[in-house]
């Protein structure tokens, strides 16, 4: 009996060790095991990822996609576009091309282009761009550096070249930012087909330019190149092969983003961005479609911070009215979401399987990512020309959160606790 008891204790210890070992399996080991025992045609990620991130992304793909034993309706994955799927901003590349080729049409009044454009900005633009061409005719931005300079400064920094505030008034800072909304408004008077053609030409030029290339617009030095990140392109391809419904949500101009998203196999129906209202002749106006019960406005609601959640809920999950602004139940949220800036923090945080972040040192997003409250945040340095390490901690406990009124506050977890300041750890 004593021998039997000893053997029983040994067996129990072995079983406990096996369970403990099973619990301690790394993500990489778990994925290898899953792949070995699952379907042989399960799509596999490739490429270079930081640490165990490829394995952890693969785990989400295997558990949520068609390789899962009880796969139901198609899971959703959502990607921001600029500096998340590509290096550099494709709407800015298109605007730069348009400025260099005289494609911006003169408005009757510059203040008509935005609900928040200040008198100072109106005067600066009128002086720099002049009034010697008829309203609705192309401005000579290719030869008038001052005009180009003024437009680029307002777009980049929200100020005139003399330092005056370009946008003023009240807006919800978690639903829009006027200088983002202003870019599609600058193309008022064009058709969607025309704007798409400018985006195609800008795309060809930007893909041909060498990595690191810059050009001058007025007195501004801006990137001349754009590249698709190979890791993101492969991730999107793998997700689609695994049965995911993959979307893009961007605060750029929708016709421009659509031109670029086709390069990774995402069609117009799966590309959500600033959607301009068209006039009776089919031409772009300074108004854009609304979301979550908010009607069309001159930039009052765009896919920006909470606006991205709203567009995802409304366009992907069919949630209408004010409910589209609220976080939904897990069945009506993306399995995977990816972004690089504060404009992405809400929808990336909504993901139920993985929050993929490209580190561009944006405080609110990086506070969430580095805090890693649910253990599902994956932070990657920029895949091309990564930024140097930020030396100062992110001010998570004080000023990293973007308040609706434009003030700054602490980043707070769902349980009400404040996120402590975080050091930049991935660069």
Q: pLDDT tens-digit profile of 236-251?
A: 999 999 999 999 999 9
123-171 residue pLDDT tens: 999 999 999 999 999 999 999 999 999 999 999 999 999 999 999 999 9
Query: Same domain, yes or no, for 253 and 401?
Result: yes
186 Cβ contact list (under 8 Å, min separation 6): 95, 98, 104, 113, 151
Contact 242, 42 (CB under 8 A): yes
Query: Same domain, yes or no, for 309 and 291?
Result: yes
Expressed as residue numbers, the domain containing 99 is: 90-223
Query: DSSP label at 186?
Result: H
Q: Is residue 427 part of a domain?
A: no
Boundary-marking domain end, from 164, 188, 223 = 223
Query: Same domain, yes or no, for 232 and 184?
Result: no
Q: Is residue 53 part of a domain?
A: no
Closest CA to 335 of 318, 356, 314: 356
Q: Is residue 361 part of a domain?
A: yes
Query: Same domain, yes or no, for 137 and 276?
Result: no
80-90 residue pLDDT tens: 999 999 999 99
Query: Same domain, yes or no, for 160 and 181?
Result: yes
Q: Is residue 419 part of a domain?
A: no
Q: Distance between CA 167 and CA 179 in Å, rounded? A: 8
Q: Distance between CA 347 and CA 324 in Å, rounded? A: 12
Boundary-marking domain end, from 173, 188, 223 = 223
278 beta partners: 284
CA angle 53, 54, 57 (to 5 degrees): 85
> Distances from the Cα of 320 to the Cαs of 73, 309, 362, 373, in angstroms?
21, 12, 30, 29
Q: Is residue 256 part of a domain?
A: yes
Q: Is residue 24 part of a domain?
A: no
Q: Distance between CA 225 and CA 139 in Å, rounded? A: 25
Kindly state the helix (H) or strand (E) to which residue 32 belongs, with its residue range.
helix 27-37
Query: Same domain, yes or no, for 80 and 97?
Result: no
Query: Same domain, yes or no, for 176 and 250?
Result: no
Q: How confident is the model at residue 290 (pLDDT cuts 50, 70, 90)?
A: very high
Stated pTM of the model: 0.90
Q: Is residue 335 part of a domain?
A: yes
Query: Same domain, yes or no, for 179 and 116?
Result: yes
Report the CATH number at residue 287. Answer: 3.40.50.1000
Q: Is it the case that residue 364 has pLDDT exceeding 80?
A: yes
Query: Same domain, yes or no, for 99 and 197?
Result: yes
Query: Same domain, yes or no, for 83 and 96?
Result: no
Q: Is residue 22 part of a domain?
A: no
Helical H segments across 158-289, by residue range = 178-186, 192-208, 230-241, 254-261
Phi-psi domain of 97 (left: phi exceeds 0; alpha: psi -120 through 50; beta: other): alpha
Q: Is 288 helix (H, G, I), strand (E, B) or coil?
A: strand
Query: Same domain, yes or no, for 303 and 208?
Result: no
Question: Taking residues 62-70, what's their average pLDDT?
Answer: 83
| Lowest mean pLDDT, pick from 2-6, 148-152, 229-233, 267-271 | 2-6
Checking DSSP bridges between strand 284-288 and strand 220-223, what pairing results, if any?
unpaired
Strands (E), 61-160: 76-79, 86-87
* Other residues' Cβ atoms within 10 Å of the Cβ of residue 10: 10
Count of domains observed in the chain:
2
Q: Distance between CA 55 and CA 30 in Å, rounded? A: 8
Query: Same domain, yes or no, for 184 and 133?
Result: yes
Q: Is 265 helix (H, G, I), strand (E, B) or coil?
A: coil
Q: Is it the case that residue 29 has pLDDT exceeding 70?
A: no
């Amino acid at each position: 009996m004593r021998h039997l008891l000893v053997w029983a204790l040994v067996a129990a210890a072995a079983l406990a060790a096996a369970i403990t070992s099973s619990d301690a399996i790394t993500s990489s080991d778990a994925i290898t095991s899953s792949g070995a025992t699952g379907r042989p045609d399960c799509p596999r990620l490739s490429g270079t990822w930081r640490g165990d991130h490829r394995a952890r992304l693969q785990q989400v793909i295997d558990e949520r996609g068609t390789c899962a034993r009880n796969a139901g309706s198609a899971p959703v994955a959502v990607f921001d576009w600029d500096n998340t799927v590509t290096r550099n901003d494709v709407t800015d590349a298109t605007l730069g091309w348009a400025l260099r080729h005289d494609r911006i049409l003169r408005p009757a009044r510059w203040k008509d282009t935005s609900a928040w454009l200040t008198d100072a900005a109106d005067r600066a633009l009128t002086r720099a761009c002049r009034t010697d061409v008829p309203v609705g005719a192309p401005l000579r931005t290719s030869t008038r550096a001052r005009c180009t300079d003024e437009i680029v400064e307002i777009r980049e920094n929200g100020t005139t070249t003399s330092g005056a505030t370009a946008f003023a008034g009240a807006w919800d800072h978690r639903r829009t930012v006027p200088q983002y909304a202003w870019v599609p408004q600058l193309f008022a008077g064009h058709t969607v087909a025309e704007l798409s053609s400018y985006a195609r030409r800008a795309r060809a030029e930007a893909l041909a330019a060498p990595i690191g290339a810059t050009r001058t617009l007025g007195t501004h030095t801006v990137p001349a190149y754009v590249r698709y990140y190979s890791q993101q392109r492969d991730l999107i391809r793998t997700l689609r092969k695994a049965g995911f419904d993959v979307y893009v949500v961007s605060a750029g101009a929708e016709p421009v983003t659509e031109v670029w998203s086709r390069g990774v196999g995402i069609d117009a129906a799966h590309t959500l961005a600033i959607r301009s209202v068209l006039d009776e002749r089919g031409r772009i106006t300074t108004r854009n479609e609304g979301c979550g019960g908010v009607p069309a406005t001159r930039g009052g609601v765009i896919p920006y911070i909470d606006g991205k959640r709203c567009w995802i809920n409304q366009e992907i999950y069919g949630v209408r009215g004010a409910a589209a602004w609220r976080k939904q139940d897990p069945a009506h949220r993306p399995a995977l979401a990816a972004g690089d800036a504060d404009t992405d923090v809400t929808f990336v945080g909504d993901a139920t399987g993985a929050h993929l972040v490209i580190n561009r040192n944006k405080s609110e997003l990086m506070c969430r990512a580095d805090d890693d409250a649910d253990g599902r945040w994956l932070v990657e340095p920029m895949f091309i020309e990564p930024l140097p390490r930020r030396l100062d901690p992110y001010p998570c406990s004080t000023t990293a959160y973007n308040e609706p009124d434009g003030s700054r506050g602490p980043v707070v977890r769902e349980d009400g606790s404040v996120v402590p300041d975080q050091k930049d750890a991935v660069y």
